[in-house]
Amino acid sequence: MTVQQSKSPTELEFGPRRPEFDIDDLLASDWHGGSAFRTAWFNALSMLFPLGEKFFIESVVAFRDRIEDPRLLGEIASFQAQESVHRLKHQRYNERLCQLRGYDLPSFEGPLRKRMAWAYRELSARRRLAGTTANEHLTAIMADDMLRNRDCFVGVDSRIADLWRWHGVEETEHKSVAFDVHAAVGGTIGERRMALLLNTFYFFKDSFRITRAMLRHDGKLWSLRVWASGINYLFIKPGVLRRIARPYFRFFRKGFHPWEQDNRNLIAEWETQRQTDSRIAESP
């Protein structure tokens, strides 16, 4: 009898999509409703993905041989496939963005490369996997907020909002894969809690460092108005980071599982919207 190591909803099925996003002209501009801060914030997040997602894939795949549940093995393959496409799309996004705006890509990625080298040197494979469960929690709760609330992308061209929502949908679909693998190979809640604390610190350190560097390059670093609007967006209205505080802390609770909040409805709504959009695009 095979053990059931996947704890995702039994009807859940997912795999990679390969959408195309024609966004080059948008990347040259303050595409997030003309806001320098919001644009730099999202562009900074994009900078974290190619290296981060490479690390996530490697940390999960390292344990594939120790998984018996065929369903979880299938989810690992889908996780790997989805994250690989995310890496590719964001790598292209980042290269094009830096080309168009004159940003220095290696200076954004340098500290991430160093930290990952440190993690490979100093941490066990299971600790690195715990780090991935923490980062997948962060991406899953941000994705949930983004898909649930239209106010995240007010004034944003749908072509680039689509890219972020597509990524958000796939983060939702595979949100429990790293978690279930970590639990299946004997990973402890203590390891995951510690990893979330550490990775939250680094997430904010990296995202604000890159946001600041972009604003400095654009000559907007010392604009009080730019920072006031940014703080407002993140913490007050709509307060996209304030809103995820409650789901964030659930991760520390005993017995937590990423699917205890079943938000498959957000995936279904996005699919329906996408089909409607493509029908409209196809009609003469």
Interface residues with Fe ion (CB under 5 A) are 83, 86, 171
By the 8 A CB rule, do 111 and 213 touch?
no
Location of structure tokens 């639990």: 183
Long-range contacts of 145-150 (CB under 8 A, 24+ apart): 145/240, 145/243, 145/244, 146/240, 147/172, 147/263, 147/266, 147/269, 147/270, 148/263, 148/266, 149/238, 149/240, 149/243
- Shortest spacing between CB 178 and Fe ion, in angstroms: 8
Closer by beta carbon to Fe ion, 20 or else 282: 20
- Shortest spacing between CB 86 and Fe ion, in angstroms: 4
Closer by beta carbon to Fe ion, 171 or else 180: 171
Closer by beta carbon to Fe ion, 153 or else 179: 179
Give the Cα separation of 13 and 9 in Å (integer). 9
Closer by beta carbon to Fe ion, 83 or else 180: 83
Q: Which of 108, 97, 107 is nearest to 32 (CA)?
A: 97
Closer by beta carbon to Fe ion, 163 or else 210: 163
Strand partners, 156: 32
- Shortest spacing between CB 221 and Fe ion, in angstroms: 29
- Return the DSSP state at 31: T
- Residue 45: CB partners within 8 Å, gap ≥ 6? 207
